[in-house]
Structure 1
Amino acid sequence: MTTLNSFSTQVLIIGAGPTGLTLANILGQANVDTLIIDRKPGTVTEPRAVSIDDESLRTMQAIGLDDAVLRDVVPGYGVHYFTRAGGRCFGKVEPTGRLYGFPKRNAFRQPLFESTLKVGLERFANLTARFNHELLEFTQDPHGVRALIKDADGQLLDVKASYLIACDGGRSPVRKQLGIEMVGSSFSSRWLVVDTDQDDDPFWQTRVYCDARRPVVEVPGPHRTRRFEFQLKPGETDAQVLSPECLHTLLRPFKGDAPVSIVRKTVYTFHARVAERWQVGRVFLAGDAAHLTPPYAGQGMNSGVRDAHNLGWKLVAVLKGQMAATALLSYESERRDHAWALIKLALNLGVVMAPATVLRARLISTAFALIGLVPPLRDYFLQMRFKPKPRFTKGLVLPEGKAGKLACGQMFPQPLLTDAQGHTQLLDTTIGAGFALIHYGDPTHQRLDELRHGLWDHLEAKRILILPAHFQTLPSIPGCTVLQDRENALKDLLGDSQKFLLLRPDRYVAAIFDMTTHDQVAESLQSLFGITLTSHCAAEPGMAPVYP
């Protein structure tokens, strides 16, 4: 006999994959009451995503899990392109920069990553995680969401929440109940994915075999793991390619006749799709529920982590009264274009990694050889500068600001900085999880402590002065943290602009201004965030959500 229990929370998350778990950690850290459920008995045990980028690791740093995640990561790996198995290497991508504080491209294993995120939830008393729980249905009104959930024993849970976030995968039941279609490219491609362990190959770069007869991708992983991906030909069935005989034949050019420890084998169909809408009232889509990305650029899971950080800090700000609920409308407008840009990048890389004809494969390898003769073009590919960086021109930014080469709406770099005691740390370690007011340059021209508008206290923005390397001493400024950029990592980017920058919790620049435009910018931000400050710098009550 089923019984009906009740549960109230501020945020209900459906799906405990990388996106949902990241979002839950963001909300838990901010003391937001959160319930996350998943119909699986636990986090995944089989390998899935294998690449985590610098932006995602920066998000892990924001939730205090970067060290734990990095224990199971092969940092800073690149890609070598070959004509075929045993053939010529005709191109390399080996990024070395750490613009955001971490290597650009890193190998990991999703089961270890999800386990780390799940353990991270245990830090927060306001966060409840329940596996073996399935969402049956939900309704919403202007005041909240009501969901009916069933556990493994058939007992029902009636959940009331302010917001529901669907992180429930590419086949998202929430998206289907909302009647939202997936749109985009008609691209689809079938690949056999084989994950191995006990691997003794010391080569730690990805190998891509651009052989039109059978494109293959080989990805190293932590703890002696390795992945092989084989593009399937028309007419090849799952049963055929998953047979031991076929697997041995496919792996022989790469592993010879040595025994191979296979931990997972499966056939995937890759898609390129984006949901028509990412928000309906108080319900949001995130991760694969909002976009499906081919794996060629290694950005599918990373796009979901970006969703979680973008939506997470906004939910925190709204629920804390720092912003009006209308600010949540910016989630889709900021994330959609970049998610689609990364899908297009993956499709373009797929042309290189899986050429349709032998002639196209030869043309591609010849083009790479010519590119290698031109240093600017060579470095463009070698350092992965082709990867699209988001630049918000709409949403929660004032897009007209600029400081040196840095424009509003861009992500701020994360240099290694030094304090007065000589200790070094990454910038975000000083910022913490919230907003920051940054000033890079000479404090005698403009001072952070002279910014008097109540908005900055309302946002709880940490004030940080960053001095260039040539300063001999670090001054003491009331209410400010003073650090030094001894490596001059910001000099070329910011120059002598002497501007103030407001960094959002996701490290994107919301505003750039000086003392002459300070009041005007603060008023514009108040309007953008949908808030009115009282004499006590508190948000006015009654900020009702607006539904698209």
Structure 2
Amino acid sequence: MTTLKRLNTQVLVIGAGPTGLTLANLLGQANVDTLIIDRKPGTVTEPRAVSIDDESLRTMQAIGLDQAVLKDVVPGYGVHYFTRPGGRCFGKVEPTGKLYGFPKRNAFRQPLFEATLKAGLERFASLKARFSHELLEFHQDQHGVRALIRDADGELLEVQAAYLVACDGGRSPVRKQLGIEMVGSSFSSRWLVVDTDQDDDPFWQTRVYCDARRPVVDVPGPHRTRRFEFLLKADETDEQVLGETRLQALLRPFKGEAPVSIVRKTVYTFHARVAERWQVERVFLAGDAAHLTPPYAGQGMNSGVRDAHNLGWKLIGVLKGKMAETALLSYESERRDHAWALIKLALNLGVVMAPATVLRARLISSAFALIGLLPPLRDYFLQMRFKPKPRFTKGLVLTEGEAGKLSCGQMFPQPMLTDAHGHECLLDEAIGAGFALIQYGAPTRQRLDELKHGFWNHLEAKRILILPEPIEAMPTIPGCTVLQDRDGLLKAILGESNRFLLLRPDRYIAAIFDKATETEAAEALQSLLGIAATRSSEIESGIAPAFH
């Protein structure tokens, strides 16, 4: 006889892939009661995503798992473009900077990554993970979401949650129950993906063979793994190309007659789609449930990790009483445009990586040769400056404010800092998990301890002064951490601005202001977060905030 068990939680996460596991770790770290479920018996065992970028590694740092993740990563790899197998290299992308504290482009294996994230869940008593659990249906009202879940033994579990987040993949059952359509396109082209291990090729850059006869991508991975991707022809069937004889023939130009250890082989049709809506009242879509990205830019999984960080800190803020529920409306408005920008980047790179004709392939290689002769253009591609950086112009950021080359809504860089004793740390390690007030430059005209508005205390914002130059004795400022920019990363970016910047928990700049405009900035931010500006004195005195 089937029994019905009941469980109450604050957040129910459906899907334990990279997006769901990242979100669960964020919520667990903040002591938010969370249940994450997945239909599978565990995390994935076969390779899927193979590239993790600097922004995602910064999110891993935010949940305290960056070093564990980096153990299974090939850091800082680039892309070399070739005319054909055995042909000439006509272009390179080799980013070297660490603007956000990590290499821009890194190779990894999703099974190892997910296993690390799953192990991270065990750190938090407020967090429960249930695998082999399937969501059957859900209903919501103004008070919360009620979900019916079935485990592998057929037992039923009724979960009452304040919010539900669907990280349940491109075929998202939650999205379908909500009746939300995906808009965009699917590719008529198909790609054969072959993952190998025990690989002895020492070349650690991605090779892209822009051969109109058969475009091929060769991606290195950690622990002697490698991926090959072959564009299939219209008359080639899945059964043909997945057969052992055909596989060996496709791999021969790259591996010769040496035996190849194949761990996975599959045929993909890629999509470029975005959900029409990402939120319906108390239910949110994230990751592949919200957007499907072609793999050419390596940004599909990374976009999901961005979703998790963006939504995660906002859920925490609402559930901890730091902001009103209306602040959650900013999730889709902030994330949608950037997710679509990366989809368009992937489509454009697809034109380069898989030219439709021999003539187009020749034109592309000639264009790259010309670019190589022009240093500004060469560096633009070499350092991956073509990758769209998110810049929020709406949502939980002020629309105006600049400091040097930075504007409100941009992600703040992450320099390596030193303290008075010579100890080193990255900026986010000094900040911790929450908000931060940052000042860069000698505090001669204005100082962080002069900021008196109660809103900063309400946010529990940590105050950090970053000095551009080494000095014999660092100044002491009450309630403020004083550090020095070890490598001068911020100097070319911020110059002599000496302004105050409020960083959100996801390290985007929410406000840039001076002492003279402090009250104006604080009250504008209070309005964005749904905190009544008329109650600022009560916020300062510690009385619970009022929400609009």
Fold shared per TM-score above 0.5:
yes
1:211 counterpart SS class: coil
Where in structure 2 are the equivalents of 1:113-512 lying within 5 Å?
113-512=113-512
- Shift of residue 69 of structure 1? 0.2
Q: Are 2:58 and 1:58 aligned?
A: yes
Structure 2: distance between partners of 1:30 and 1:462: 16
- Shift of residue 486 of structure 1? 2.9
Structure 1: distance between partners of 2:124 and 2:543: 26
Q: Are 2:3 and 1:3 aligned?
A: yes
Q: Is the 8 A contact 1:188 1:272 kept in 2?
A: no
- Shift of residue 369 of structure 1? 0.4
Structure 2: distance between partners of 1:267 and 1:343: 20
- Shift of residue 188 of structure 1? 4.3
2:149 counterpart SS class: strand
Where in structure 2 are the equivalents of 1:84-99 lying within 5 Å?
84-99=84-99
Counterpart amino acid of 1:105?
Answer: R
1:168 counterpart SS class: coil
Q: Any idea what the Cα deviations from partners look like across 1:502-523, whole Å, max 9, x if unmatched?
A: 0000000000000110011101
Higher mean C-alpha displacement, 479-488 vs 161-170: 479-488
Structure 1: distance between partners of 2:24 and 2:543: 26
Aligned pair in 2 of structure 1 residues 211, 333: CA closer, same or farther (>3 Å)?
same
Structure 2: distance between partners of 1:537 and 1:380: 50
1:498 counterpart SS class: coil
Counterpart amino acid of 2:344?
Answer: K
Q: Is the 8 A contact 1:170 1:292 kept in 2?
A: yes
Structure 2: distance between partners of 1:142 and 1:112: 39
Give the TM-score, by structure 1 length.
0.98
Q: Any idea what the Cα deviations from partners look like across 1:179-224, whole Å, max 9, x if unmatched?
A: 0000023444311000000000000000000011111000000000
Structure 2: distance between partners of 1:130 and 1:225: 30
Q: Is the 8 A contact 2:311 2:331 kept in 1?
A: yes
Counterpart amino acid of 2:428?
Answer: D
Count of residue pairs the alignment pairs up: 543
- Shift of residue 537 of structure 1? 3.7
Structure 1: distance between partners of 2:205 and 2:498: 41
Structure 1: distance between partners of 2:108 and 2:250: 24
Give the TM-score, by structure 2 length.
0.98
- Shift of residue 455 of structure 1? 0.6
Counterpart amino acid of 1:165?
Answer: V
Aligned-pair identity in percent equals 83
Counterpart amino acid of 2:81?
Answer: Y
Per the alignment, residue 540 of structure 1 pairs with 545
Counterpart amino acid of 2:294?
Answer: P
Q: Is the 8 A contact 2:470 2:484 kept in 1?
A: no
Structure 1: distance between partners of 2:336 and 2:355: 28
Q: Any idea what the Cα deviations from partners look like across 1:385-432, whole Å, max 9, x if unmatched?
A: 000001000000002000011101000000001001101110000011
Q: List 4+ stretches of structure 1 deviating above 4 A.
A: none
Structure 2: distance between partners of 1:537 and 1:527: 18
Q: Is the 8 A contact 2:186 2:269 kept in 1?
A: no
- Shift of residue 382 of structure 1? 0.2
Q: Is the 8 A contact 1:468 1:484 kept in 2?
A: yes
2:397 counterpart SS class: coil
Structure 1: distance between partners of 2:378 and 2:492: 22
Counterpart amino acid of 2:152?
Answer: A
The gaps in structure 1 that reach 5 residues or longer are none
Where in structure 2 are the equivalents of 1:23-34 lying within 5 Å?
23-34=23-34
The gaps in structure 2 that reach 5 residues or longer are none
Q: Any idea what the Cα deviations from partners look like across 1:95-129, whole Å, max 9, x if unmatched?
A: 00000000000000000000000000000000000
Structure 1: distance between partners of 2:473 and 2:240: 70
Structure 2: distance between partners of 1:130 and 1:340: 32
- Shift of residue 498 of structure 1? 1.2
Counterpart amino acid of 2:127?
Answer: L
Superposed CA RMSD in Å reads 0.9
